[in-house]
Every structure is written in C-alpha cells, then in structure tokens.
Structure 1
Amino acid sequence: MTDDDKTKRDFRDRDRVAGDEEYEVGYLASKFGLTIPEVRKLIKEHGNDREVLERKAKVLGAR
C-alpha cells in the first residue's frame, strides 16, 4: 500500500477515488449516507472514476 502524500497539490488524480485510502472511502460514505462496505462495492462494480461513483452513490443514498 502506498501513502497518499497530501502535501502534493497537483490535481492529476482528483477525478479518481483511491479505494484503498480510508479517508476517501469514508468521505464518500458520509457525503451520501452510505456505509463503508456500500462504497467499496460501488468502487468494485463501477471503478474509481469520482464522477461515476458520486452519481451512483447519490442514487444509492437516496433510497
């Protein structure tokens, strides 16, 4: 596992969710009212594209 260096401020990976980073998974879970396992399942099913994940999480969280 590699550490996500938060001191590096470029935006190359801002459109991707690092599924192995707890803070990113936790952020999506809290933002959309989901559980950590639900977010991990979304990442597994739809990949790590942030736009796609947020769209799917919004639908799932609205249920």
Structure 2
Amino acid sequence: MADDKTTRVNSDRDRISIEEKYELRQWSKGLGISVSREELVAAVRAVGNSADKVRQHLKEKNSSTAHR
C-alpha cells in the first residue's frame, strides 16, 4: 500500500510493508486468516512482501502446526 492512503495502485495492494504500523493492522486482519503482527512480520521476512506469498506461507504454517 502506498503512503498516500487516498490513492492506491493495484501493485501496492499486493505488497505488505512491515515498516508501516497501519499496514500491519490492516494486513493482520485482511489476509483471511488469523495472524498476529509478529507472525505477519516473520512471514514477510521469510518469503518477501508479496501478499499472495505471505498468505500461502501462513496457511502452510498453520496447516503443518495443526497436524502435530
């Protein structure tokens, strides 16, 4: 998401900025899965800032944790 919250470009909506607190709040709720800010930051550091990659990483992580 861009710093200008009134103008959003599609590519900005596909990226997660862990430097912006408001983005962490929005993405923590907006990924469609329950995730803490700390888990979100760790996922971005693990797979990059692509929202799709982060979402997939977190789903896989939650799935593997559930099977233990």
TM norm structure 1: 0.70
TM norm structure 2: 0.67
Decide which structure has greater helix share: 2
2:35 match: 34
Number of residue pairs the alignment of both structures matches: 61
1:20 alignment partner AA: E
Which SS does the other structure have where 1:32 is aligned? coil
* Structure 2, gaps ≥5 residues long: none
* Structure 1, gaps ≥5 residues long: none
Specify which structure has the bigger relative contact order, considering alpha-carbon pairs within 8 angstroms and separated by 6 or more residues: 1
Two-structure CA RMSD over aligned residues (Å) = 2.1
Aligned-residue offset at 1:10 = 2.7
Matched-pair identity in %: 26
